[in-house]
Structure 1
């Protein structure tokens, strides 16, 4: 992989910090940032070397990014190692993951609401909490549709 320009290094670091602020490992964010700016397939080795991290860290965090739908593993015939690239539309994949988790949470929240007395303080708070997640869910669906249309 070519030497990174200063703006690329800054972007990779900003992406790492942003994803860390969202509760993900900083290295996962750094790998995601690297995938965003790379026009080539990236091997484990090139990711580790470029970011100056261990291959084990690359392995752990690329699996995480794959599970989020924002990294794609690619095998090349005759090659022993895997390569990674950014999927065609990783941004809708991120929101789809959030939307799926939100749907599951809303089902669990409904079970709790059905057991709570409707005149209780907890029920009122749970109802507001549910409204928040229902709004997030419906807006996520709209965002997914829009992202698929424009990207």
Structure 2
């Protein structure tokens, strides 16, 4: 499949951003391709469109599936696996936040909880103890807030995000 210039720029940019977000560039490009085209694609189509090796497509798809960003589907009369992703950018953002929470924040919260319960923690000076407790409180508050936000409808979440700093007037 030959990409139009705008689509190609989107896919290339998403790949560059992926590497800044800690995701392999090819993984991000495949996700961008599936998102922007909005149609199921098989490995051969992805390989041909992006000019990458089959093994790279296969490994990248596995990573995207482990992140819950890509699903496998089938087309009647075709034995190949086809891959899709959500076309709703809000839904994708929610999946990404949930996965990052599960992989990054949840283990940190658990680690900090366990750390504060160790005998060694009690032997630390007060400044270190306070910083660790403050970090635990911050990460716990952040994760509670993120989990609450994920429960909201897209429409409500959109309105909250558009409020930005003006939310302060409701807190006074």
Between 1 and 2, higher relative CO (CA 8 Å, sep ≥ 6) is seen in 1
Match of 1:135 among 141, 161, 170: 141
Q: What is the TM-score when the length of structure 1 is the normalising length?
A: 0.86
Residue 137 of structure 2: SS of its match in structure 1? helix
TM-score by length of 2: 0.77
Match of 2:3 in 1: 4
C-alpha deviation, 1:49, in angstroms: 0.8
Per the TM alignment, residue 77 of structure 1 is displaced from its structure 2 partner at its CA by 4.3
- RMSD (CA atoms): 2.0
TM-superposed deviation, 1:19: 1.4
Matches of 1:12 and 1:71, distance apart in 2: 16
Give the SS at the match of 2:133: helix
Separation in structure 2 between the aligned mates of residue 36 and residue 62 of structure 1, nearest angstrom: 13
How far has the Cα of 1:76 moved from its partner?
A: 3.1
Q: Which runs of 5+ in 2 are unaligned?
A: 159-172
Does residue 1:98 correspond to 2:104, yes or no?
no
Structure 1, 130-139 or 5-14: larger mean CA deviation = 130-139
Gaps (5+ residues) in structure 1?
none
Matches within 5 A, 1:30-45: 30-45=29-44
User: Counterparts of 1:2-151 in structure 2 under 5 Å?
Assistant: 3-87=2-86, 89-101=91-103, 102-115=105-118, 116-117=121-122, 119-146=125-152, 148-150=153-155
Deviation at 1:141, TM superposition (A): 1.1
